[in-house]
Amino acid sequence: MRWQPLTPLTATANLPLLTIQDDDSIFASGDTAKRDDYEITLKASDQPITAIRLEALPDDRLPAGGPGSTYYEGTLGDFYLTEIDVHADGRAFAFTGASETYSKNRFGNNPATAAKAIDGDIQTGWSVHGRQAERHVAVFVLKEPLPAGTDVRIHMSFGRHFASSLGRFRFSATSSTQAPEARPWSDHVALLLSDPDRELNSHEADVLMTEFLLQTSQLAEDAEKIRKLRMRPEATSTLVLAERPDNAIRPTHRHHRGEYLQPKEEVQPGLPEILRAGSNESPGNRLEFARWLVSDSNPLTARVTVNRQWAAIFGTGLVKTVDDFGMQGESPSHPELLDWLAVTFRETDRWSLKALHRRIVCSSTYRQSSVRNPDSLSIDPGNRLLSSSPRYRLDAEVIRDQLLVAAGVLHDEVGGPPVRPLQPDGVTEAAYGSPSWTASPGTGRYRRSLYTFTKRTAPFAMFSTFDAPSGEACVARRDRSNSPLQALTLLNDVMLLDLSRQMGAHFSMASITSGDLEFLTEMFRRVLVRPPTSAELDLLTSFQQEQHSAFTADPASAFRFLEIDANSGITSETIVSHAAWSATARALFGLDEALTRP
């Protein structure tokens, strides 16, 4: 059976931008809604039309390769065609039946076939869950032929409880009086099959044989394996912003008193007049705006960046209100220093944060002692004049990362998917769907905190305890608290206990052939950076010996502390040494100085 492609004349939609391609297909881009309606006008055929074929085509521009544009909640690249109608010569034409090459419903047990797209029920439709990035075909048979020489208008509706429209598709028609059915093979294969007397060359014969082997029911299981092998491998992806085309600009309105339900006059992209510095030029798109942000016409970007880096290093910014540089923000404590750092950062450092950090930490201000003299307490009680090096508790992620380094287990791989470190059971049970939290195996759980998986409704427990934001909003300034729960976390959290055991394992093996004193000094320096005083070293030595004596008296408690099976075959002497050093590391982790900038 021959199918004749129908040339689109117009293609419009309620929200998506429909673009006619050179191969007579239509590509949908831009916004989508939970219900999308496509209106397609096709050029008249010179023959009566008895059936219409809809090809859902894959495309690399679509989520998971298409053919649909579903990008959240549903299967990436799927679609859900709820209804299709056809009109010609000023009236509607009914369908008598429909068939498809593949169909599968992700939600529920009801079928999601092409026939469900012509049943008049907006709740049912055609879907292809599980077979993304493939070509799928549906054939709709007309009750009476469409007349020749008349343009065809097709209306399609898409949508579930999420946006699920077709991303790329094409229409064809046939005038055959035999009721056609959807076939999975391409038009090239159909052409080869239509002429049985034609002598095939070796390539054409291979094409037909391959298609036969993939379609025969006897080899269905093997064919499915081949299809899965042909699918693109899973890869980490990210969203990328793209400028809208000029003919699909989203209208933006001023909202009366900020109320989104009261849109007023339409506004165009541009800068507030107060920021133009006397210039009539204003950025009109994202690229121009990005260039303006770092141009000489805008000194604010460099000043805000420098101030935030200063706050990260010293605990308080030169402008204390790091999240407010406006009229209601605080004036800078050192305005000339802020100006000099901003200009140097932009012109000399060429926006290099590494160079900025080096300049700040090499300064005498940063390297001065945190011990305050009596005069500074009366003259500069808030240390806004930086008369001494400020002390403040580190951020949650920094605390974890420095303890990973101290334990000697930090895995410094760059990039890749998020990981799940150890955390107490039950943290995620209160979140929607009660998602499980299975700690990443091997070295994955010891990656930098930057890569920790986060869920808005169940943030990582240790981070929340140390005032890390939940991710619901972008914050420029964090609150810092000091609570008993933080001390309990440092002593008892499963992740930090694991780090103390990792650190204890290293020192217990090293101390077997050498004295403990030098290793106690090294452990102290790993956690607190500075060397211990004589008094501190005496206290640490006494603590380590007390732990060793206690575990020696009760080896079973050492096995329990390390969560090692007593029947593992490891000698009690080894376990006792490991437990004593782990308890010592745990005690160091719990010191106030371990989480405070010196």
SS (H, E, C) 43-99: CCCCCCEEEEEEEECCCCCCHHHCCECCCCCCCCCCCCEEEEEEEECCEEECEEEEE
* pLDDT for the residue 169: 97
Give yes or no for a contact between 58 and 168, defined as CB atoms under 8 angstroms apart. yes
∠ at Cα 462 (316, 323), nearest 5°? 30
The verdict on pTM exceeding 0.75 is no
Give yes or no for a contact between 164 and 78, defined as CB atoms under 8 angstroms apart. yes
Tokens 């054409």, located at residue: 204
How far from chain centre, in Å, is Cα 344? 34
Burial degree of 3 (CB within 10 A; 0-12, 13-18, 19+): buried
* pLDDT for the residue 513: 47
Give yes or no for a contact between 103 and 112, defined as CB atoms under 8 angstroms apart. yes
Burial degree of 458 (CB within 10 A; 0-12, 13-18, 19+): buried
* pLDDT for the residue 383: 84
* pLDDT for the residue 515: 57
Three-state SS for 26?
Answer: strand
Report, as ranges of residue numbers, the positions in the chain whose pLDDT lies below 50.
Answer: 513
Sequence-separated (6 or more) residues with CB below 8 Å from residue 242: none
Task: Give the burial string for 517-539 (b: 16+ CB within 10 Å, else e).
Answer: eebbbebbebbbeeebeeeeeee
Q: What is the DSSP letter of 468?
A: -
- What is the radius of gyration, based on Cα positions, of the chain? 34
Sequence-separated (6 or more) residues with CB below 8 Å from residue 303: 325, 338, 339, 342
- Angstrom distance (rounded) from CA 458 to CA 428: 5
Tokens 């007023």, located at residue: 264
Strands 8-13 and 36-42: antiparallel
Our CA dihedral for 49, 53, 54, 55, rounded to 10 degrees, sits at -140
Which tokens in the block code for residue 591?
């010191």
Three-state SS for 101?
Answer: coil
Sequence-separated (6 or more) residues with CB below 8 Å from residue 41: 8, 9, 10, 11, 151, 152, 153, 154
Beta strands in 216-354 (DSSP E): 252-255, 263-267
- Angstrom distance (rounded) from CA 95 to CA 361: 76
Q: Where are the alpha helices (DSSP H) in 274-330?
A: 286-293, 300-314
Give yes or no for a contact between 129 and 78, defined as CB atoms under 8 angstroms apart. yes
* pLDDT for the residue 41: 97
* pLDDT for the residue 500: 96
Three-state SS for 320?
Answer: coil
- Angstrom distance (rounded) from CA 295 to CA 212: 63
Tokens 């974890």, located at residue: 400
How far from chain centre, in Å, is Cα 392? 32
CA distances from 499 to 454, 506, 562 (A): 21, 11, 11
Tokens 């005498």, located at residue: 364
Cβ neighbours, 10 Å, residue 496: 22
Total count of residues recorded for the chain: 598
